[in-house]
Each structure stands twice: as structure tokens, then as C-alpha cells.
Structure 1
Amino acid sequence: MQKPVERSTMPVSLMPVAEAPRVYGFMLVPQFSMIAFTSAIEPLRLANRAAGRALYEWRLYSPDGRAIEASNGVAVAVDGAYAEAGGLAAAIVCAGLDVQTHGHRELMAVLRRLASFGVGIGAVCTGTYVLAKAGLLDGHAATIHWENFSSLASEFPDLDLSQELFEIDRNRFTCAGGTAAVDMMLSLIAGHHGTDIATEVTDQLIHHRVRDAAERQRMDLRARLGVAHPRLLAVVALMEQAIERPLTCQELAAKAGCSTRQLERLFHKYLGRSPTRHYLTIRLERSRELLRQTSRPILAIAVECGFVSASHFSKSYVEHFGRTPRAERNALRSGIPVRATG
């Protein structure tokens, strides 16, 4: 004889109900950063695995609903076009290379519509640029990949922009790109479902620990330069901070507590170049970022990077990069590949 099925006598209204999965929409922009995208989506999958149920679901969107290519050349199939996005708890813009060369008009309209319904709006890597352009970061703290920080700050001077790994400010969340997306998503998962789930996901990722938002994006100068001399590191740090109004060698030496001759020796010994040459390289690299990532006039970029005239800037640029600033910008517009970010 079949055993009767036991039924609960608890009123239906009081019976525990499983929380519906949070649905994340990933808005993929042409040439998006694959590492930032996967670093954002994989923690969601692993959170489901750790919980033994669907805590999260996700949908992918592209401009036209067709497969879209990442900056590494891999095409990713999607669930629909931007305009079809709906029923989301949050939308995350995934961008990467040359984000400023696209108009993003339709995407921005969709994001504004979603935001008006209380949907969380986020971004990884250079997706922060799209949110800023859409006016969706007004009054919110935000961050972006270190390589794009100067250009974004220059184009949107009123933006509350930091160089944190990630920023979660109410219903806006942004991260620096790369694996920083892992830390941002782990922080969100912990907020939704507790630290036990987030910790298990961290272990599955072999991530060792959830990095704090305030940890630096870039390697410190010691690691980047392969130099440990404290006086030299202090001077290079000063150079990176004083771009628009470059300090003289005498001023740098005075701040470092040494003579200009000692400073020259330090740079030649550890970096194989003079302080002046190293400083010029830093300023030219910054100008290159601004040329590629903003539409600001070339003269304005020259002034912002400490050059006294457009001719001086152009001459220095050609000597260092082998092309004029205008040719640099035209190459980008014509689709000639440049170094990717994130």
C-alpha cells in the first residue's frame, strides 16, 4: 500500500518561499574586454553552485541582437538587442577598447529607461564612460580602469571619480576592469546572500581573498620600474602627479633632498635615462591616452600635459612615437588597431 504524502498544515501565506533569482543583464559594447566580462559573470555562476540553487540569472545583449566580438576577437552569442532588455535587477555595461569612438545613443536610452524603473546600473572596465555620458553617474562615486582615468576626469570634470578597484554607491556600481570585476561581484554577492556564499565563491575562483575597494589598481612604482631606491621612487611619483605644470630638475632634487647631479646619477644608474627624458616620457604617454580616449582639441591636450606650444608638443610626440598627434588620432578613427585596455 502506498504511503500517504505528508502535507504541511502551515498556512500558505506563512510557508517559506524561495527568493526569486536576481537577473543581471550584460550590455556588451563592441570591442568589450573579455577578461572584465568573464570576471563579472563567473562569480554569479559559482554563487548558484555554492548555494545549490539559482541565486542569479543573466542575459546578454548587443546593439542589434547578433553575436558581438570582444577586443580579443572572440565572438559571443547574445540573447537579444539592447532595446529588448527588461525584467532585470541590474544592467552592467561591459566595454573595453576604443569605447569613446562609439555613439552609444541607443544603449544610453535603454540604460536611462531601466534606471527610471529602479534597475541597478553598473559597468566594468571602460563601461563607466558610457554611464558618465548618459548622465547616470551624476551624484554617484565611480571608478574606471587606470589607463582611462585621466581622459574621463578631463571630459567629465564634475564626476566624483576615484582610482579605487571598484565603487558601489547605492544603485550604481563600477569597477576598474580586469579582475577587479571579481572583487566587485563578490562584494555584491556578500551583500545579497552573506559572506559564507561569497567566501565559497572566492575559494572556487582560487582568488585567495576579496580585495578591498580601496586597494590600488596598478602595481606600485617599485614593481613597475623594478627599482627599490626610495629617493628615485619618490621623484618618479612626483613626476606622475605634476603633469600640467612640470617641475624643474632643481625642484625635484630639492623635494627629494639631493642635488641635481645626484638625481641625474640615480636616473642613469637605475633607469638608463636622464630625469628630463623620463619626465617627458610620462607626459607624452599621458597625452597619448587623452588623444585616443577623448575628443578634446590637440592644443588643449598639449597644455594639459605641460607643453608650452602645439609645435613643441608635436615635435616631441613625433620623436617619441614616430607620428604626429593628429596622425595618432586619425589612425584611431580609421580603425588602425591600438593597444587595448582592461
Structure 2
Amino acid sequence: MARQTHGGGDDMDDSPQQSLQFDILVADGFVLSEFAAVIDCLRIANRVSPQPVFAWRYLSAGGGSVTSSSMATVETEPHDMQPDAEYAIAIGNFDPDCPQLALGRVIAAYTGRQARVILLAEAASRYIRDYGGPTADLTTHWENAEFMIERYAGMETGQSLAAEKGSVLTCAGMGATYDIILNVIGKHTTMAIRQRVADVLLHETIRDFQSMQPIAGAQVRLSGDKGVDRCIALMKAHIEEPISVQELAAKLGITVRSMERWFRSVLNTTPGRFYREMRLNRAMNLLLNTSMSVQEIGLACGFCGGFTHVFKSTYGVTPNELRKSRHGRSGDASPAVASDAKNDGFDRSKPSQRWLKAQSELRSGAN
């Protein structure tokens, strides 16, 4: 792809310069909102700058048409193993097990030429999974992080929007993609241009890389009511080992009746029902997005017994029936997922400590 020329921001001279090249890496089922966030930020930056600043092209493992999760398609070139781009950005695709996200050699091709690599959501998860070193200073989307904790013993990541390690930036993706690319734009233009792009996008606040993902403990309004928000935060902190409504009230320093009034007024439900639905929602995510067994999922979501009954009474189908209808497989890992798991470098003979604790409690209860 021919490079565009550009003049920089207000504090740069008007002599033509080579534009910064971004290689956008996509895989089948890529997340269209992340893709659009990257392209729109760069496109608007070019529009509001004195001369175009950024150029980009689309690449994939095999080249040709690649279809997003929402069925939009993009034409791509094959991965370039001798790239001359300043940045490579890998878009997530809701499936960290996707073979096209195994980008180790591609990443090395860019970092070996002093390029920066930005990995969004599932692309970050796959990199973290394949990385082989400490993972606490890497990050991915909070939902992927939950799946990884359950699938791989001891694999916990950071909870910030993005984390830099050398030339690789792992990111949460989704809405945070705007923040990441706006920060990159600010690095290569001016703060005025960065803010102008944010204003055009109606993006009110540009978060830095160290900002926490909202689900990971940042101060966010979940329900619109401060008291209910505090209670929901406690529930989220006790998904695997649920506490009683009485314990929740005690931790908040209120009566059970007051807490019930809060929930009825704000959410039109009871604290107990909301708590159970929250745990079932997490179980649904694990069921559809991991290879964990139904028993493991039940334990991970605080159901030491009766998980299938509660699930069916809520959703009208058993966990196995739902998984089979969505993926054509039973409650245990499919051959493809199981085969991939055997080769990913992690020891599944060591289940997570939380799973072991739950199993121990089950045995103690049986005795």
C-alpha cells in the first residue's frame, strides 16, 4: 500500500512527511465495533489535521474476504512477515481459541522491526495464554480474564484498560478501543487534535492506560443508586462463594428490610433474586465460552449442588441442552477445544485453587 504524506499538528512545520502506517490484523468473526473504533479515530484525525497523518491497511492470516461477527466483510492482504508499519493492531473476535489469533510469529515480525503491537480483547487473551511468563502485568477484557482464571490454574491478569510490556500493548478492547487509539493519536499529533477527534466522536473523557475497567472496581454507577451499587459490588466480589442476604446487609450496615426496599424501588426485584441471576448469568457465559464441565461451572458460580435444576427453572433448558444447541456438543469440552487445550502449554492437571476448595467443601458436606 502506498504511503500517504502528511504535515503534523499545529507545532510542526509544513514540510511533507511520511505518514504513520497502521496494519490492522483481523480474523474470522472479528468485532466490528473495535474495528470501527480504530478506523474512525484515524480517519477523523486525518480530517482535522492540516495534512493526513495516518495510513492503514487490512491484513489476515490468508488474505481475501474476512467476515465480522456481525456479518460485515472486509478485504484483506495476507500477513506481512517483513512489515514496515509503525503499528500493528490485532482486533478481537469473541473467541481466544481461534487459530487465527495465534499471532506469535507475526508479533515478532513487527517488534523485531521496532514497531508497536496493540492487541485487543481476545487477541490479548491469546497472547497472554501463549506468553509463558508472568501475566499480572498484562491485561485483557474482564470477561476473558474470568474465563482464563477458570480454565488455567493461577493465570490472573491485570485489570486496567491497557498494559504495556516492551513493544506490546495488551488491551481490554470494546469501548476502551477509542481511549487507546485516541492516546496513540495524541502521541503523534497534538493534544488539540486528539481532543478534536474525541469531540467529533462525542467521547467525553479520554481514559489513560492505567484506568481500571469498570467491572474491575472503578467507581461506576451500576443502577443509578449509590446504596444498591455498593450491594451489587459486594455480590460481584462473592460470586464463587456466595454470602447470605443477612451478611450483605451487615457488611453495608443496614437492615435486610432496608436493602429489600432499595432493590424493589430501583430494580423491581429482591436482593436474593438479583444475586442468583447474576451468578446464573456468569454461568451462562462460562457455559458458552469455555470448555469447563457443567459441574465445574456450577462450582465456579457458587452452586455446590442443584445447579442444573436452578438453571433449567430459570432458562427452561438444562446447561447441557443449551450448550449442545449452541455448539453441537455436550457439557464437556469438544474434541477441537480439548485438542487445542492439550497444546497450549498449560498444565490442566492442576485445577484452580478455588475449584479445589469447593470440591473439598462438597466432600466435607457429604460426610
Q: Tell me the TM-score normalized by structure 2.
A: 0.74
Q: Distance in 2 between matches of 1:53 and 1:152?
A: 44
Question: Identity over the aligned pairs, expressed in percent?
Answer: 25
2:55 is paired with a residue of what secondary structure?
A: strand
User: Which whole-Å CA distance do the structure 2 matches of 1:221 and 1:195 have between them?
Assistant: 26
Q: Which amino acid aligns with 1:325?
A: P
The residue that corresponds to 2:180 in the other structure is 184
2:339 match: none
Residue 305 (structure 2) pairs with residue 296 (structure 1):
no
Task: State the secondary structure of the residue aligned to 1:251.
Answer: helix
Q: Which residue of 2 aligns with 1:252?
A: 248
Assess, with a 3 A threshold, how the Cα gap between structure 1 residues 329 and 280 changes in structure 2: closer, same or farther.
same
- In the TM superposition, 1:186-201 aligns within 5 A as 186-201=182-197
Q: Which residue of structure 2 lines up, in the alignment, with residue 339 of structure 1?
A: none
Deviates more, 1:241-250 or 1:251-260: 251-260
DSSP-derived class of the 1:161 partner: coil
Rate the CA distance shift 1:330–1:161 in 2: closer, same or farther, 3 A.
farther
How many residue pairs get aligned? The number is 314
Partner of 1:144: 140
| Residue 97 of structure 2 is aligned to residue 104 of structure 1 | no
For residues 239-269 of structure 1, the C-alpha deviation after alignment (integer angstroms, 9 at most, x for no partner) is 1111111111221121122333443444344
**Unmatched 5+ residue regions in structure 1?**
1-15, 336-342
1:105-254 → structure 2 map (5 Å cutoff): 107-135=103-131, 138=134, 141-155=137-151, 157-162=154-159, 164-213=160-209, 214=211, 216-217=213-214, 224-225=222-223, 227-228=224-225, 230-254=226-250
8 Å CA contact 2:145, 2:156 repeated in 1 = no
SS of alignment partner, residue 57 of structure 2: strand
CA distance in 2, matches of 1:27, 1:264: 49
Match of 1:87 in 2: 84
* 1:140/1:172 contact within 8 Å kept: no
Partner amino acid, structure 1, of 2:29: Q
Which amino acid letter does the alignment assign opposite residue 326 of structure 1?
N
Query: Unpaired runs of 5+ in structure 2?
Result: 1-13, 330-367
Q: Distance in 2 between matches of 1:51 and 1:203?
A: 14
Question: CA contact under 8 A between 2:102 and 2:126: conserved in structure 1?
Answer: no
- Give 1:284 deviation, angstroms: 0.9
What SS class does the counterpart of residue 90 from structure 2 fall into? strand
Provide the secondary structure at the position in 2 that maps to 1:104: helix
Aligned equivalents of 2:16, 2:156: Cα separation in 1: 39
SS at match of 1:67: strand
DSSP 3-state at the match of 2:18: coil
Of residues 56-65 and 42-51 in structure 1, the stretch that sits farther from structure 2 once superposed is: 42-51
1:323 matched residue in structure 2: 317
What's the offset of the Cα at 1:37?
0.8
C-alpha separation in 1, matches of 2:293 and 2:212 = 34
Deviation (angstroms), 1:50: 3.5
Write the distance in 2 (CA, Å) between the matches of 1:256 and 1:224: 17
> How big is the alpha-carbon RMSD for the aligned residues of Structure 1 and Structure 2?
3.2
TM-score (norm 1): 0.78
Q: Secondary structure, in 3 states, of the residue corresponding to 2:96?
A: helix
Q: Give 1:220 deviation, angstroms.
A: 8.6
CA separation of 1:319 and 1:107: change in aligned 2, threshold 3 A = same
How far residue 155 of structure 1 moved from its aligned partner, in angstroms, is 3.8
Instruction: Please give the secondary structure, in 2, of the residue aligned with 1:95.
Output: coil
Q: Distance in 1 between matches of 2:235 and 2:293?
A: 24
The answer for the alignment partner of 1:57 in structure 2 is 55
Alignment of 1:278-293 (within 5 A): 278-293=274-289
Residue-by-residue CA offset, 1:115-149 (whole Å, 9 max, x unaligned): 44443221234332222233288557343334434
Q: Superposed, which structure 2 residues align to 1:32-43 within 5 Å?
A: 32-43=30-41
Q: Which amino acid aligns with 1:319?
A: S
Secondary structure of 1:160 counterpart = coil
Q: Aligned AA for 1:260?
A: V
Asked whether the 8 Å contact 2:81–2:109 carries over to 1, the reply is: no
Q: Is the 8 A contact 1:101 1:333 kept in 2?
A: no
Shift of 1:329: 3.0
Q: 1:211, CA displacement in angstroms? A: 3.0
Q: Give the aligned residue type for 1:27.
A: L
Residue 320 of structure 1: how far off its partner (Å)? 1.8
**Are the aligned partners of 1:30 and 1:95 in contact in 2 as well (CA < 8 Å)?**
no
1:181 Cα deviation (Å)? 1.2
Is contact 2:212-2:218 (8 Å) kept?
Answer: no
Cα distance in 1 for partners of 2:97, 2:231 equals: 35
Q: Distance in 1 between matches of 2:16 and 2:231?
A: 58
Task: Pick which of 121-130 and 265-274 moved more.
Answer: 265-274
1:167 and 1:175 in contact (8 A); partners too: yes
CA contact (8 A) 2:42 2:54 kept: yes
Post-superposition offset of 1:19: 4.8
Q: Does 1:45 align with 2:21?
A: no
